Amino acid sequence: MLGLELVVILGAAVLAGNVLARRLRVAPPVLLLLTGVLLGFVPALYGVQLPPEVVLLLFLPPLLYWGSLTTSLREIRTNLRGVILTGTVLVIVTAAAAAAAARALGMPWGPAWVLGAVVAPTDATAVGALARILPRRDLTLLRAESLINDGTALVIYGLAVGVTVGEEQFSLGRVGWLFLLAYAGGAAAGAVVAWLGLWVRGRLTDPVLATVAMLLIPFVAFLLAEAIHASGVVAVVVCGLIMSQSGPRVSRAEGRLQTQAFYTVTTFLLNGSLFVLIGLELHPALRGLTSLALTRALIDVGVVFAVLVGVRFAFLFASASAARLLDRRSQRRPLRESYRARAVSAVAGFRGAVSLAAAIAVPNTIASGAPFPYRDTIIFVTAGVVVMTLVLKGIMFPIVVRWARLPHDTEVRDERRLAETLATEEALDALPELAAELDTDPAAAERLRHEYETHLLIVRADGTEVEPAVQRDRDYTALRLALLARKRAVILRLRDEHRIDDTVLRQLQAALDMEEIRLSRRHPD
């Protein structure tokens, strides 16, 4: 019964935490994490632990996939050098620095490298939840980094665990082969699954079946990559990026809407549940601490956290200075971030559930049968670092963003206006030919031409003043919405009077809802 109780508790915690966070204007992950900590004091939840395979196999694929689908591939291509540096080199440097710090604190090199690999990657879930107040370009770069760096960190982690338990021998050739297999094999697996997914999506007309296919795709990509000992993270990310580019050509409108609605709710619940579970996980991590005294463990947490912050700041500022010195091409200047923007990116190094899951997945014993050295310390320090990055950085982040005074991002609005203008103009140009092909009644064609010309006037408005066409359209939208509300009241009354069935009500209500959503999105600005 505890499984069902846990589902209810997680759902209620996610709902209450988000509602309270909006009222208090606090980042939701911070409150959700604190909620999990408080729930950990409930006796019935003492034994609740986060199985690592749940995060790595159940939570991670859909979250990474949706993050890849909804990110900007153009921004990644434009800033590919920075994404590669932060997604690979920064992770390696961070893991090495954290391992050196752990070694200085008395931990052997093997467990120290395991800890370094565990805390090195930023978390896509935390970045998406805490950094959404950033302009689109900055947020895209942080999300791209967090989508890629898990693969790098997990390769280091697997090698460090293997060496510690006696199953691996360290060599540069072995490390190079593991990285090549992880990235090349993962990218190949993701591309294959994306091709199969596009083939299946193009042949599914039922929106429910199309949504089921979209749900399966990330799990298939992750499973295929893991089967060939490649990176499941890389496979899911590559698959998502390919689907984001080619999917719109083969999917249908109703399927796209249903898939977006499904993934929006699903990822919201998964994200929130992860933060609550992290809070719950602090209690068994604390109870399992036997290698060190609590005071010493807290010192270790503070030292590792300071190293992570320092390395990230130093790397981002040093790489920016080196890029300015080595690459003086004029076309690169618009892409360079200011030092204030770099400070924002440095603060946004959030860690999350993937780090904690990797720590919990550390084996209990080594090849000789002895306990894995410092396993409890690794789990506790990782949990402490995750909490500090989410709480301290989560509180500091909005303050730093306001201090940075990042430029207002109008690119999306401008590009949307451009796309709507050109699409409407070319549709108007094609109207006579299409009307002739379809043998459309001239009155219907003229009515449609008038609607498109009115829409063209609206999208061409620069927004500096309320033009007559824009005001008329707003009045039209308001009146249509009022009429829809009246129609909805009528069909509800007819259902209550038993003059129509509930089935008819649902059909009519679905049509009215779609029209209401369309009208409500006419003025996104």
> What is the 3-class SS of 241-261, one letter each residue?
HHHHHHHHHHCCHHHHHHHHH
Please state at what angle helix 232-250 crosses helix 136-165, rounded to 10 degrees: 140
Do 156 and 88 fall into the same domain? yes
* Residue 371 DSSP SS3: strand
Q: Give, in order, the Cα–Cα distances in Å from 160 to each of 105, 112, 155.
A: 18, 9, 9
For 138-154, the DSSP string reads HHHHHHHHHHHHHHHHH
The number of helices, as runs of H, and strands, as runs of E, in the chain is 23, 0
Average pLDDT, the chain: 83
Do 138 and 159 fall into the same domain? yes
Average pLDDT over residues 147-171: 80
Which pair of tokens denotes residue 243?
Answer: 């689907």
Do 359 and 459 fall into the same domain? no
Please provide residue 371's backbone torsions phi and psi, each rounded to the nearest 5 degrees. -60, 150
361-370 residues labelled b (16+ CB within 10 A) or e (exposed): bbeeebeeee
Tell me what pLDDT residue 522 has: 62
Contact 224, 233 (CB under 8 A): no
Do 349 and 404 fall into the same domain? yes
Which pair of tokens denotes residue 156?
Answer: 């280091």
Do 31 and 176 fall into the same domain? yes
Distance CA 127, CA 142 (A): 7
Do 274 and 294 fall into the same domain? yes
Residue 260 lies in a domain: yes
Higher pLDDT, 513 or 321: 513
What does the pLDDT look like over 185-230, one tens digit per residue?
A: 999 999 999 999 999 988 888 888 988 999 999 999 999 999 998 8
Q: Give, in order, the Cα–Cα distances in Å from 521 to each of 69, 406, 418, 514.
A: 22, 27, 17, 11
Residue 109 lies in a domain: yes
Q: Grade residue 1 by pLDDT with cuts at 50, 70 and 90.
A: very low
Residue 27 lies in a domain: yes
Do 393 and 450 fall into the same domain? no
Q: Answer with the one of 409, 430, 450 that is the final residue of a domain.
A: 409
Range with the poorest average pLDDT among 53-57, 261-265, 278-282, 341-345:
53-57
Q: For residue 313, count CB atoms less than 10 angstroms from its CB and return exposed for 0-12, middle for 13-18, buried for 19 or more.
A: middle
Q: Answer with the one of 409, 428, 455 that is the final residue of a domain.
A: 409
Residue 439 lies in a domain: yes
Residue 525 lies in a domain: no
Which of 337, 388, 306, 300 lies closest to 94 in space, CA to CA? 306
Contact 49, 360 (CB under 8 A): yes
**Long-range Cβ contacts of 338-341 (<8 Å, 24+ apart):** 338/404, 340/403, 340/404, 340/405, 340/406, 341/138, 341/404, 341/406
Tell me what pLDDT residue 391 has: 84
Contact 217, 193 (CB under 8 A): yes
Residue 268 lies in a domain: yes
- pTM of the model as a whole: 0.81
What does the pLDDT look like over 428-483, one tens digit per residue?
A: 899 888 888 888 888 888 888 888 888 788 777 755 445 676 777 788 888 888 99
Q: How many domains does the chain have?
A: 2
* Residue 365 DSSP SS3: strand
Do 65 and 138 fall into the same domain? yes
Q: Grade residue 21 by pLDDT with cuts at 50, 70 and 90.
A: confident
Percent of the chain at pLDDT > 70 equals 91
Please provide residue 430's backbone torsions phi and psi, each rounded to the nearest 5 degrees. -85, -10
Q: Answer with the one of 409, 429, 455 that is the final residue of a domain.
A: 409
Do 185 and 81 fall into the same domain? yes
Which pair of tokens denotes residue 502?
Answer: 């509930």
Which pair of tokens denotes residue 433?
Answer: 């030919």
Alpha helices in 288-410 (DSSP H): 294-326, 339-347, 353-360, 375-404
Contact 352, 125 (CB under 8 A): yes
DSSP H/E element including 430: helix 411-437
pLDDT > 50? residue 116: yes
Q: For residue 250, count CB atoms less than 10 angstroms from its CB and return exposed for 0-12, middle for 13-18, buried for 19 or more.
A: middle
Which pair of tokens denotes residue 519?
Answer: 């009208």
State the Cα torsion 385-24-143-301 to the nearest 10°: -10
Please provide residue 361's backbone torsions phi and psi, each rounded to the nearest 5 degrees. -75, -5
Q: Give, in order, the Cα–Cα distances in Å from 61 to each of 40, 120, 208, 413, 508.
A: 27, 20, 20, 31, 36
Which pair of tokens denotes residue 439?
Answer: 């043998």
Do 393 and 471 fall into the same domain? no
State the residue range of the domain holding 64.
2-409
Distance CA 480, CA 476 (A): 6
Residue 156, CA atoms < 13 Å, CB-side half-sphere: 29
Do 366 and 468 fall into the same domain? no
Residue 436 lies in a domain: yes
Do 467 and 363 fall into the same domain? no
Distance CA 470, CA 383 (A): 53
Domain containing residue 312: CATH number = 1.20.1530.20
Residue 82 lies in a domain: yes
